[in-house]
Amino acid sequence: ILPSSEGGESDGPVSGNRRILCYGDSLTAGLCNNCGAEYFPYSQILVEKLGCRVDHIGLSGWNTQQMVKSLDTKSAVDVKDRRWSPAGLRAAIATASAEGAPYSALILMAGTNDLTEQPAA
């Protein structure tokens, strides 16, 4: 399993060789103020519904520019002080391939934090 942040790895029943990476900001991390836990990533639901291996990297507070600049980053800490390793999208894809278990799908959710940084029109 791809090393990630606390709770970032999901063990699900293996269905063929499918492996999915969910990559993005706090929405991917599963930051949740009203769900009984601080984090509840949607990757956990995908494991249950799809029956395959699902990893997630959710960089809370990061905007798309930070994600692009960090494509090859091996490790990073987000604004919630959660360490992610690997942190960059390209680094995660390379790590999975090197492990002999490449990703068959990617779910990318980014841009939410960009909205708060744009000047008013």
* Whole-structure pTM value: 0.81
> So what's the pLDDT on residue 56?
96
Does the pLDDT at position 5 exceed 50?
A: no
Could you report how far apart the first and last alpha carbons of the chain are, in Å? Answer: 44
Report phi then psi at 17, rounded to 5: -110, 20
> So what's the pLDDT on residue 96?
97
Strands 9-10 and 53-58: antiparallel
> So what's the pLDDT on residue 118?
60
Does the pLDDT at position 109 exceed 50?
A: yes
